[in-house]
Amino acid sequence: MGAVPDGMSAPRAKPLFERIAIIGLGLIGSSIARAVRRTNAAAIIAASDAQPRVLARVRELGLADEISETAEEAARGADLVILCVPVGANADVARRIGPSLTRGAIVSDVGSVKAAVELAVAPHLPAGVHLVPAHPVAGTEQSGPDAGFVSLFLHRWCIITPPEGADPAAVERVREFWRALGSNVETMTAAHHDLVLAITSHLPHLIAYNIVGTAADLEEALRAEVIKFSAGGFRDFTRIAASDPTMWRDVFLYNKDAVLEMLGRFNEDLSALQRMIRRGDSDGLFELFTRTRAIRMGIVAVGQETAAPDFGRAREDAPQGA
């Protein structure tokens, strides 16, 4: 077992949970498994995944103590079940595991949309089982059990969205769990989460997918040049446009209203910007481009971004930022 990265819990003598069931071992689920093992946040890790090749890989990587072909089997007897599947799959998984759940168990998830998750999962849980949805705001553009790593959640925010009337002790246990994995924990309503994430995450993905799609539709010769000369800015967008298609399809289907609201604002602003360019409004452009610079400084200041130029991918002889 490797060292625990600074900022994560030292391996616990007494685990927070006896048995954690992780349903879905993609980037997020497999990173949770790795971090739970490293910190001993749970005594037993049970895992299931709908795809046999994922389960085989989980076995090879030694990510779980028990590997089950069905979610219901993994969830049986667990005191914490975390659904790590695309948002659209939550209802079906909840329906299947409901009968296996023990009184006092906590069901959580990692979805990027929260109001829809509550609606999908809550009806399937028996009395005495606590639903405490969570969203670790962390990830990379890669997918699958090989893409995960221990420190994915370290210094990243995890947002907990307890339903009205949620059991405070259950909520606190989920908060403690994410703190053990190195996250900063924040609590808010599902509706507020969905609005904030629509602008910080969903709209950026939408725009990135769109511009990369526009490039993909160019005539063949021009498209080859776009790839060749992508260092001019375009390549930045291709990273998030390489994210998991199923996960992101579901985000847009299940957070439709907030996404369309933010897209509306974006479109209004883009029309104004287009007009400035067409009319040659030099002062207007300069003013906007100056204002946007300040936002990045704020993000670097709160530790959510590297100060190194070019995300640090610039050469080693580049200045490393303030």
Please report whether residue 189 would count as binding a second copy according to CB under 8 A.
no
Question: Smaller CB distance to a second copy: residue 95 or 156?
Answer: 156
Site for a second copy in 207-266 (CB under 8 A): 207-218, 222, 225-243, 245-246, 248-249, 252-253, 256, 259-260, 262-263, 265-266
Judged by CB under 8 A, the stretch of 45-53, 114-122, 149-157, 166-174 that binds a second copy is 149-157
CA-CA distance, 275 to 282, in Å (whole number)? 11
21 and 46 Cβ atoms separated by less than 8 Å: yes
178 and 156 Cβ atoms separated by less than 8 Å: no
Question: Smaller CB distance to a second copy: residue 31 or 108?
Answer: 31
Closest separation in Å from C-beta 301 to a second copy: 8
- The neighbour count for residue 78, using CB atoms within 10 Å, is 26
Query: Minimal CA–CA distance to 187: which of 157, 153, 165, 167?
Result: 157
Closest separation in Å from C-beta 167 to a second copy: 26
CA triple 40-41-46, angle to 5 deg: 90
Site for a second copy in 17-56 (CB under 8 A): none
Give the x/- contact pattern for a second copy in 72-111, rule: CB under 8 A.
----------------------------------------
- Number of residues near a second copy (by CB under 8 A): 115
Helix or strand or coil: residue 160? strand
Long-range contacts, stretch 170-179, CB < 8 angstroms, 24+ apart? 170/106, 170/130, 170/132, 171/132, 173/16, 173/17, 173/80, 173/106, 173/132, 174/80, 174/106, 174/108, 174/132, 174/134, 176/16, 177/16, 177/17, 177/41, 177/80, 178/134, 178/136, 178/153, 179/9
Question: Smaller CB distance to a second copy: residue 11 or 252?
Answer: 252
Of 60, 66, 69, 141, the one binding a second copy (CB under 8 A) is 141
Of 48, 108, 112, 161, the one binding a second copy (CB under 8 A) is 112
Question: Smaller CB distance to a second copy: residue 27 or 80?
Answer: 27
CA-CA distance, 127 to 98, in Å (whole number)? 10
Question: Smaller CB distance to a second copy: residue 14 or 315?
Answer: 315
CA-derived radius of gyration, the chain: 21
Closest separation in Å from C-beta 46 to a second copy: 24
Of 23, 74, 97, 137, the one binding a second copy (CB under 8 A) is 137
Please report whether residue 64 would count as binding a second copy according to CB under 8 A.
no
C-alpha separations of 119 from 88, 112, 130, 182, 257 in Å = 11, 14, 14, 29, 15
Of 77, 157, 167, 261, the one binding a second copy (CB under 8 A) is 157
Query: Minimal CA–CA distance to 7: which of 217, 130, 155, 220?
Result: 155
Judged by CB under 8 A, the stretch of 76-84, 116-124, 133-141, 162-170 that binds a second copy is 133-141
Judged by CB under 8 A, the stretch of 48-56, 65-73, 102-110, 275-283 that binds a second copy is 275-283
Closest separation in Å from C-beta 128 to a second copy: 33
Question: Smaller CB distance to a second copy: residue 58 or 195?
Answer: 195
The token pair at 170 is 């259950």
- The neighbour count for residue 272, using CB atoms within 10 Å, is 12
